[in-house]
Structure 1
C-alpha cells in the first residue's frame, strides 16, 4: 500500500529526529519497501516541505555534508544552551588561523601554513584539530621529505552546518576567517560573516576549484568544545626553505 504524502513527511521527520547523526538520502530511502511507493524524488519533495514547515519553529531542517538533521535555530541558542552545563571554551587564535588556512587552501602542508602565518605551527595545534575530527592527512606533497597534505573532513562540514566546501563564506584575508571562526566560538550561535572575496589559492588545491563569492556566504555553526590549546605562537618560521612536518 502506497504511503501518503502526509505520512511520508511524518516518517521522515521522526527518523531524522530519532537518529543520532544526520541521515543521507540513501539512508532515508532504505526506510521504505518497494510496496510503499516512495522514491528519491518523493523524499526530496517531502524534505523541502518539512523545511518550509519549520520556518516559524524553534528548530530547522538543514542539509549538511553527512545528510539531513534538525538543529536549533540561532535565535534560540541563548536559552537552549542553558540546558547544558559543559563549560564552553575557546581555541587560541593560532589554532583558528591554522584551521582557516586548511579549510580555504587545502590540501596544504604544515610548511605552507607556516610560510603564510610567519611563525611555526605547533604539533599540538595539528593534533588538536585531528583529535577533534576536523582535519586529516589527505596525501603527501611530492617534494623532498614528502610532507603531509592536510584537508578538512566531513565532520568539519557537519559541525559548521555546511553541505560542501563551496559553501564556505568568501574571505578578504586570513584574519577575517579567523575572526569569523572566533565569533562562532564566542557567541555559541550561527554567525554569518559578510566578506568580500576569497584569497588566492595555491594551484591545484581544492580551494582553487571552488567559485567563492558574496552570494554563497554560509552561516557558521558554533563551536561547543573544551579549551584545547593556549600555547604560544611558536618559533619564527625560517625563510627560504620549506618546513618539513615532524
Structure 2
C-alpha cells in the first residue's frame, strides 16, 4: 500500500541522515543544526512541532536554545520565527503588515482560503475559545439569541472550530472546540495565551454583562434545528 511505503521511505531517509554530526567541531555542528531547523520551518506550510525538528538534529541538541539563536539572527529581517499552535513558523513582522496587504491583498487572502469574519462570527468564535467545549444551545443562551447552524458552519468551513465531545445534557448534543488553525491564525501557541477575560473587560474591549444581556450585533440568528445534528465532515489532525 502507498501509505506504509511512504512511511518506510521516510524512515529510510532518516536512517541515512547523520543527525549527530560527531565529525564536526561543536560550533560548526551547531550551525548545521540551525540551518536544518530553519530550512524545515521555512519549507513547511504549517507550524512545525518539536518532534518533527528533533528528527534532523542530534539527541543532545537543545531545540529551544537553537530557536533562540535563529531568532537572534533574524532580528534585522522583515520576518521572524514565532511559536504558534504548538510549533514554530516564519511570519512577517507586524510592522510590514500594511506593505504585504497592499502588495498582495486579496491574492494572499484567497490563497489561504480565509475570509474576514463578521462581528457576530468573531463574537461566537471568541465565546467558543473561552468556554469550550460548548454546545450551540449554550451559545444561544449565552447571547440571548439563536446562534444559527449557518454561522457555526462558517466557522467550521474556516477550520476555526471542530466538534468536541458529546455534552452530558439530555439528548447528548455535540459541543464545539477551537482547532490548531484557530491558534495559528490568531498567533497563539496554546489556549493559555488567550487574553485574560477580566483584562479585556478592564480595557473596555469586552463586556460580559452586555453579552449576557444579549447586547450583540445582528447576524447570529437564522433558520436552525436542534443541537444534536451530525457534525460536518471537518477534522483537524494532531500534527500537520
**TM exceeding 0.5:** yes
- Stretch of structure 1 that moved more, 157-166 or 43-52: 43-52
Higher Cα Rg, which structure: 2
Counterpart in 2 of 1:60?
80
How many pairs does the alignment contain? 188
User: Can you list the C-alpha shifts for 1:156-197, whole angstroms capped at 9, x where unaligned?
Assistant: 111111111010011249xx59xxxxxxxxxxxxxxx96799
Contact kept in structure 2, 1:170 and 1:198, CA below 8 Å: no
In structure 2, C-alpha distance between the alignment counterparts of 1:16 and 1:159, rounded to whole Å: 17
Structure with the larger helix share: 2
Counterpart in 2 of 1:139?
165
Across the aligned residues of Structure 1 and Structure 2, the Cα RMSD in angstroms comes to 3.0
Residues 1:115 and 2:141 are matched in the alignment: yes
In structure 1, C-alpha distance between the alignment counterparts of 2:77 and 2:47, rounded to whole Å: 19
Match of 1:16 among 38, 41, 52: 41
Alignment CA distance shift 1:97-1:27 (3 Å)? same
Alignment of 1:194-213 (within 5 A): none
Residues 1:148 and 2:174 are matched in the alignment: yes
Counterpart in 2 of 1:105?
131
In structure 2, C-alpha distance between the alignment counterparts of 1:197 and 1:231, rounded to whole Å: 17
User: Structure 1, unaligned stretches of length 5 or more?
Assistant: 33-37, 178-192, 200-229, 236-242
Contact kept in structure 1, 2:151 and 2:220, CA below 8 Å: no
User: Structure 2, unaligned stretches of length 5 or more?
Assistant: 1-20, 110-114, 209-216, 230-240
Q: Which has the higher contact order (CA 8 A, sep 6+)?
A: 1
Counterpart in 1 of 2:6?
none
Residues 1:157 and 2:176 are matched in the alignment: no
Residues 1:232 and 2:219 are matched in the alignment: yes
- Give how far 1:245 is off: 4.4
